[in-house]
Amino acid sequence: MCQLSKVEKYPPSRIIQLILEGFEEKVLKSKVLWDCLTCNSCLQNCPMEINFADVVRIARYKMRKEEEQNPEELIAHKGIYTSIPEIMSQYSIRPKRDLSWIPKECKTSQKGEILYFVGCLPFFKFEFQGLDEIAISTLQLLCKVEDNPIVVLEDEMCCGHDIYWGQGEIDEFIELGKKNLKKFEEAQVSTIITACAECYRTFKVDYTQIFDDFEEKYEVKHIIEYVYDNWKNETIEFAHPNEKEEKIQFTFHDPCRLSRFLPKENKIIEKSREIFNAFKTLGYDFKEMVHNQKNSLCCGVSCWMNCNEKSKALRYKRMLEAKEVASLMLTSCPKCNIHLTCVQNDFPDLADVKIMDFIEFIIKHIEVK
């Protein structure tokens, strides 16, 4: 089941066996656990339900603290995007984010009931093109549906996902969480909306495990759930049909954090399919890739770790699956968007598949009743 084992010798079951037999120190010293994608594919069919990604996360903390290992050479983009949350976790740091992307027609506030947690998108735009549209589209939808201004914080902190899972920096993650909780309380919010799969998983699961009463104080919704709930409540409807004679075929790349990192009772993947199937009446045809939903392939890079030829091979395989079924591929993870677009730049034969975020596509087909 291990996706990494498709491009290198990597047996999670053997690693677990070594740990059980008392060779934990040997495993930690080998540095082999820095290679893991933490995609959690191995959990899906594990009869003992061993969460290997959790084992890796804790091991990375121990490799840093006990073995004094530094994975700096494995971090993509010279560590820029992992340095940002590390700096933010420091007590005295108060970021001032660029809010120039906010559409003029959208009313925002520093206090209110609904918070749009933007995430790291404002930091990505200096190196990656087109990602602002994710934030713009999300806020436009929220402003269309809600009567009151949406909270968007200029001093928003990173959720901490990448340093928690990729670097094993648990202490810094907890400090970021404390700062985020303080901001949420000051803003008097009760609902947190995000368009990022990683932010969603972090708030939905990790924060609730670490911080008391988080789940009681805050309702966390991914933008997919927000669209679904308002569609079912008949607050919005899907409109603006495709007027071409042939139906446009599209598919969806399920991010690891939505497909394999949520509690079993979470139905966000099923909800996304209900939405996509509703588009058949608008001139679109939803097609699944060979590997989909809980068996979806990983984009090959997790937490900015191990962006190399092996991960490129995994991305290439994923894009081939998309090309076989559709001319448009949606996803709901900005990093999946970045990594899959990157492999298109290297392989022109993949460039004819358009990659869009879920909300970029949906916002063009929504009418508020």
pLDDT value, residue 129: 87
Collapsing DSSP to helix, strand or coil, 131 comes out as: coil
Domains and CATH numbers, the chain: 4-70 (no CATH), 77-230 (3.40.50), 237-368 (3.40.50)
Cβ neighbours for 285, distance < 8 A, ≥ 6 positions apart? 247, 248, 249, 250
Burial environment of residue 125 by CB neighbours within 10 A (0 to 12, 13 to 18, 19 or more)? middle
What distance in Å separates the CA atoms of residue 97 and residue 77, rounded to the nearest whole number?
21
- Sign of torsion over alpha carbons 34, 35, 36, 38: positive
Give kind and range of the element (H or E) at residue 324: helix 309-325
- Residue count of the chain, please give it: 369
* 157/346 Cα distance (integer angstroms): 34
How far apart CA 12 and CA 18 sit, in angstroms, is 10
Considering only CA atoms, which of 268, 282, 286, 272 is closest in space to residue 365?
282
pTM of the full predicted structure?
Answer: 0.96
- 40 Cβ contact list (under 8 Å, min separation 6): 51, 52, 53, 256, 260, 261
Beta bridge partner(s), residue 329: 251, 355
pLDDT for residue 45: 81
Closest-CA residue to 368 (of 251, 242, 265, 230): 230
Q: Which amino acid is at 137?
A: S
CA distances from 137 to 48, 132, 284, 347, 367 (A): 42, 9, 20, 29, 14
* Amino acid present at 156: E
The residue ranges of DSSP E strands in the chain, in sequence order, are: 108-109, 114-117, 150-151, 191-194, 219-222, 236-238, 248-253, 284-286, 328-331, 354-357, 366-368
Give 10-residue mean pLDDT values along the chain (369 residues): 89 93 96 95 89 96 94 92 96 92 96 97 89 96 97 97 96 97 97 98 97 96 98 97 91 97 96 97 96 95 92 96 98 96 93 97 95
Query: How far is 316 from 366, CA to CA, in rounded Å?
Result: 33
Backbone angles phi, psi at 68, to 5 degrees: 55, 40
Q: What is the DSSP letter of 330?
A: E
Three-class secondary structure of residue 213 per DSSP = coil
pLDDT score recorded for residue 245: 84
